[in-house]
């Protein structure tokens, strides 16, 4: 029989490595690096909490799982791209909001539909009821992702050079929007929707390219819009949800103790994110009033009712587009709020 001395030596060497260096090889295999991306800029007030999530996972795993967090400008992905990047495993964790991904997945835009809710608590109650039966399956089935964090944001306002609290005031006003639903809303209320990149918002308002902008208080503060406009019309027309999702295959490939660490640290940060936004939005509004001298105007009951009537076609179109999913979302919504009204 022909012998293979070189092969024999290789096998002997491999055996020696397995016996003598097994612990070193195992340790090397345990070192995993993940990437987490966000479309938000570091100027957003709660961005440090996402960095803290990445750091906490890295520290608690003792470096076995390192999570590198990249914000806007440090990666090539836009808001909608992040969901597909996580789905395809290009990155392991992504952060985005329903308003960014609604063009890709209309069903996640439910909380962003216009004038559904009277206040933040009502919106939070609704989202909590929707999260497990509605949102989680959408991300799992279509995008191979599991939700890690998800919180509701209040303070969706229109920032402009004059109060925009009725349809007459909106006529002819060019308003920056961020998605189909918000664009349709402005059009139905008499304004002219305009698309402006967030980084160009300040200049567009300053030069009069647009007359106003839809954004939350965090966005307004980060873009310093109150240096160039001095009115906030407090519509609270939607309560968008911001998500962080993880690729399910990447998560399942981790040892069980690391999976537990990822989920537990995400749950802890999620509670901080929601608490931060509940207080942070109002703090930013107070800051804008006291330091920037802005005028805040609300919607009267009559104008709110008028806005709801005018924007009803958006709800109807969305439900027709989303089919059974849309019916499910509205069924949960009506079950909650019809019973509360009794």
pLDDT at 9 over 60: no
pLDDT in the model for residue 54: 98
Tell me the C-alpha distance between 83 and 103, whole Å.
Answer: 12
Mean pLDDT (whole number) for 168-195: 93
Residue 137's pLDDT band (boundaries 50, 70, 90)? Answer: very high
pLDDT in the model for residue 7: 35
pLDDT at 11 over 50: no
Q: What is the pLDDT of residues 230-239, one digit of tens each?
A: 999 999 999 9
Tell me the C-alpha distance between 170 and 297, whole Å.
Answer: 14
b/e code 162-174 from CB counts within 10 Å (16+ = b): eebbbeebbeebb
CATH code, residues 157-238+294-341? 3.40.190.170
Mean pLDDT (whole number) for 211-225: 92
pLDDT in the model for residue 13: 37
pLDDT at 199 over 80: yes
pLDDT in the model for residue 130: 97
pLDDT at 143 over 80: yes
Question: Which of 10-19, 159-168, 220-229, 318-327 has the lowest average pLDDT?
Answer: 10-19
pLDDT in the model for residue 307: 97
pLDDT at 215 over 80: yes
pLDDT at 121 over 70: yes
pLDDT at 28 over 50: no
- CATH 3.40.190.170 correct for 24-105+126-152+241-286: yes
Q: Is the Cβ–Cβ distance between 245 and 137 less than 8 Å?
A: no
pLDDT at 138 over 70: yes
- Could you say which DSSP state residue 189 is in? T
pLDDT in the model for residue 341: 60
Tell me the C-alpha distance between 19 and 158, whole Å.
Answer: 67
Percentage with pLDDT > 70 across the chain: 90
pLDDT at 340 over 70: no
Q: Report the chain's C-alpha Rg in angstroms.
A: 24
Mean of all residue pLDDT scores within the chain = 89
Same fold across 24-105+126-152+241-286 and 157-238+294-341: yes
Pick 106 or 19 by higher pLDDT: 106
pLDDT at 4 over 60: no
The full set of domain ranges for the chain reads 24-105+126-152+241-286, 157-238+294-341
Mean pLDDT (whole number) for 63-87: 94
pLDDT in the model for residue 247: 98
Tell me the C-alpha distance between 301 and 293, whole Å.
Answer: 26
Nearest CA to 201 out of 228, 163, 180 is that of: 228
Residue 108's pLDDT band (boundaries 50, 70, 90)? Answer: very high
pLDDT in the model for residue 338: 80
Q: Is the Cβ–Cβ distance between 59 and 210 less than 8 Å?
A: no
Tell me the C-alpha distance between 340 and 119, whole Å.
Answer: 14
Nearest CA to 86 out of 251, 241, 265 is that of: 251
Q: What is the pLDDT of residues 277-325, one digit of tens each?
A: 889 889 999 999 999 999 999 999 999 999 999 999 999 999 999 999 9
pLDDT in the model for residue 147: 96
Residue with tokens 């906490």: 56
Strands (E), the chain: 32-37, 65-70, 93-97, 145-152, 157-160, 174-177, 192-195, 212-215, 231-233, 241-247, 295-297
Mean pLDDT (whole number) for 109-118: 94
pTM, rounded to two decimals: 0.84
Nearest CA to 116 out of 284, 318, 323, 325 is that of: 318
Instruction: Find residue 304's DSSP bridge partners.
Output: none
pLDDT in the model for residue 180: 81
């Amino acid at each position: 029989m022909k012998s293979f001395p070189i092969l024999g030596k290789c096998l002997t060497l491999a055996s020696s490595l397995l016996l003598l260096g097994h612990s070193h090889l195992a340790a090397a295999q345990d070192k995993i690096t993940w990437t987490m991306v966000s479309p938000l800029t570091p100027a957003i007030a709660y961005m440090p909490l996402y960095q803290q999530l990445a750091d906490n996972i890295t520290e608690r795993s003792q470096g076995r799982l390192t999570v590198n967090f990249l914000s806007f400008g440090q990666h090539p992905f836009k808001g909608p791209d992040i969901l597909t990047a996580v789905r395809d495993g290009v990155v392991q964790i992504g952060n985005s909001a329903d308003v960014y991904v609604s063009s890709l997945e209309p069903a996640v835009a439910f909380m962003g539909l216009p004038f559904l809710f009277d206040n933040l608590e009502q919106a939070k109650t609704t989202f909590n009821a929707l999260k497990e039966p509605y949102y989680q399956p959408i991300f799992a089935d279509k995008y191979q992702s599991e939700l890690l964090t998800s919180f509701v944001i209040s303070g969706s306002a229109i920032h402009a050079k004059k109060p925009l609290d009725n349809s007459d005031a909106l006529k002819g006003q060019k308003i920056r929007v961020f998605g189909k639903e918000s664009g349709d809303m402005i059009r139905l209320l008499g304004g002219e929707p305009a698309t402006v990149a967030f980084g160009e918002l300040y200049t567009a308002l300053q030069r009069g390219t647009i007359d106003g902008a839809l954004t939350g208080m965090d966005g307004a503060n980060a873009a310093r819009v109150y240096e160039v406009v001095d009115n906030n019309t407090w519509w609270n027309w939607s309560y968008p949800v911001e998500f962080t999702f993880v690729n399910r295959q990447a998560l399942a490939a981790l040892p069980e103790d690391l999976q537990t660490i990822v989920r537990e640290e995400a749950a802890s940060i999620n509670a901080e994110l929601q608490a931060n936004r509940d207080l942070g939005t109002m703090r930013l509004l107070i800051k804008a009033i006291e330091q920037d001298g802005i005028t805040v105007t609300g919607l009267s009951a009559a104008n709110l009712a008028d806005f709801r009537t005018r924007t009803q076609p958006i709800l109807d179109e969305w439900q027709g587009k989303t089919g059974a999913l849309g019916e499910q979302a509205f069924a949960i919504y009506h079950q909650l709020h019809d019973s509360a009204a009794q």
